[in-house]
Amino acid sequence: MKRANTAPPVDYPTAPVSVEDTGLDLGLLADLTLKSLYFAGNIAGDVLSDRLALPVPVMTEILAFLRRERLCEVTGGGGLSVAGLNYTLTAAGLERASAAMSLNGYAGAAPVPLDTYFEYVRRQSVQNVVLDRETIESALSDLVLDQTTIDLIGQAISSKRAVLLYGGSGNGKSTAADCLRNAITGTILIPYAVEVMHQIIQVFDPSTHEVVEGSGQRAGGPMSDRRWVLIKRPLVFAAGELAASHLELILDDVHKTYEAPIQMKANGGLLVIDDFGRQHLDAAYLLNRWIVPLEKGVDNLSLQNGARFQAPFDVIPIFVSNRPPSELADEAFLRRIRYKVEIPPPNPDLFLEILRRECERNEVTYDEAAAHYLVDQHFTRLRRRMRGCHPRDLIEAIAAAAAYRGTDRALTEATIDEACAIYFGLGAETVGALD
């Protein structure tokens, strides 16, 4: 399902026309330019402008400073504008660039000040997204859940507070959390990086953020500030690999670059903690770490030198767990998660509807009598508990077996018996007896 974008047009910040307009120190921008020159060798002014996401007038000011300090020089090109000239480092510039990289190796787009980032997060807050019943039901329409469960999920998510989805494995908790991204519609602007106390923190993550194409310029207006990128509201998914270090600034000791923690990357969207209670850090630690952010909307982070600062915390956290709430943490901690919704196993009617949909998706001929045979013989008779994942897994096994043999894909008693024998581990003899 594709997310509809019903949000109003995004108000891009206007491109700065001077160093002062960037909100950044000339020294920081000079060092950033030197690092770009270091990696580029010999580069045209317009290309340098693109790499730093700064307009030519700002680059003109920075390069004029570097030339006065004899840190860079013109090596060729044509015209009077910085855009048409080529630049390279001098020996002194090479030394200065090496020193700058030893302190912070970031060499991408120029950052924005932290207070400007705060302003835009608040302006585009996920708290402003309308989440009504129709929106939630549409987002979850690919799942087969009873109406009561859908309503409970809807009430929880529409509150925009922390939510715990729990229940047995394989009943759709993680899938439901993933589908809810379709309810968080619209786009937001995020910076490529943020400047904090003369340190640069990377915020934009191409593996996490989905960029909206053609978003670099305001239609009919002046050039926008290219330090910002337009993305769909994010969904950040963290599973069993989540560790305490992922909740703090991530420092690459080799390249001396800072990367934003997962909650900062999720600002303006959803933050899903899957397998909650099974990570390398326990549930109580995680909740304790986020007590203040969950209540105040701000997070406290630290630089390597120990300096602390506040960052915006604008997410809807969804915790997903196979364990009941009472096993995750004590009552004082669980009070921070106000909504706890159980995703129960499907009843026979829901199970059959999931089975029918999976047959359609996998182009397997559906047979009502064979479907009831599956329920009666492999679940009811054996007192085996149904799970929401069983129809998908069994139908995919039937489709794979048919593709292997070159036979028609069909739901029959024979194909059901074979798929169940393999899936539930009934042994080779049982499978062979079905041939």
Tens-binned pLDDT, residue by residue, of the chain (435 aa) = 444 444 455 678 999 999 999 999 999 999 999 999 999 888 999 999 999 999 999 999 999 999 999 999 999 887 778 888 999 999 999 999 999 998 889 999 999 999 999 999 999 999 999 999 999 999 999 999 999 999 999 999 999 999 999 999 999 999 999 999 899 988 999 999 999 999 999 999 999 999 997 654 444 345 889 999 999 999 999 887 788 888 999 888 888 889 999 999 999 999 999 988 776 677 777 877 887 888 889 999 999 888 999 999 999 999 999 988 888 877 777 777 889 999 999 999 999 999 999 999 999 999 999 999 999 999 999 999 999 999 999 999 999 999 999 999 999 999 999 999 999 986 544 444 444
CA-to-CA distance for 171 and 350, rounded, in angstroms?
Answer: 11
**φ, ψ for residue 76, nearest 5 deg:** 155, -160
The CATH code of domain 348-433 reads 1.10.8
CA-to-CA distance for 19 and 13, rounded, in angstroms?
Answer: 15
pLDDT of residue 217: 47
pLDDT of residue 386: 95
Q: Using alpha carbons, list the distances in angstroms from residue 47 to 14, 18, 33, 43, 326.
A: 20, 18, 12, 7, 57
How many CB atoms sit inside 10 A of residue 347's CB? Answer: 10
> Please, is 395 exposed, middle or buried when counting C-beta atoms within 10 Å of its C-beta (0-12, 13-18, 19+)?
buried
Q: Using alpha carbons, list the distances in angstroms from residue 309 to 106, 154, 168.
A: 20, 35, 40
Closest CA to 95 of 146, 45, 51, 34: 34
Radius of gyration of the chain (CA): 27
- Rounded to the nearest 10 degrees, what angle do helices 390-405 and 413-423 cross at? 110
**φ, ψ for residue 6, nearest 5 deg:** -100, 5
pLDDT of residue 215: 57
User: Which residues, other chains included, contact 109 with Cβ-Cβ below 8 Å and sequence gap of 6+?
Assistant: 51, 52, 53, 192, 193, 226, 227
pLDDT of residue 8: 52
pLDDT of residue 279: 67
CA-to-CA distance for 272 and 316, rounded, in angstroms?
Answer: 8
CA-to-CA distance for 182 and 136, rounded, in angstroms?
Answer: 8
Answer whether CATH 1.10.10.10 is correct for domain 25-107: yes
Q: 113-125+157-342: what CATH class?
A: alpha beta
CA-to-CA distance for 269 and 263, rounded, in angstroms?
Answer: 10
Question: For the chain, what is the largest distance between any 2 Cα atoms, rounded to a whole number of angstroms?
Answer: 87
**φ, ψ for residue 96, nearest 5 deg:** -65, -40
For residue 328, give the H/E element and its range.
helix 325-328
pLDDT of residue 219: 40
User: For the whole model, what pTM was predicted?
Assistant: 0.86
CA-to-CA distance for 185 and 233, rounded, in angstroms?
Answer: 7
> Please, is 373 exposed, middle or buried when counting C-beta atoms within 10 Å of its C-beta (0-12, 13-18, 19+)?
middle
What letter would DSSP give residue 223? Answer: B
> What are the beta bridge partners of residue 201?
194, 258
pLDDT of residue 221: 47
Give me the residue spans of the domains in the chain. Answer: 25-107, 113-125+157-342, 348-433
Q: Which residues of 400-411 are buried (b: 16+ CB within 10 A; e: fewer)?
A: eebeeeeeebeb
pLDDT of residue 431: 44
How many CB atoms sit inside 10 A of residue 168's CB? Answer: 15
How many CB atoms sit inside 10 A of residue 120's CB? Answer: 21
pLDDT of residue 177: 93
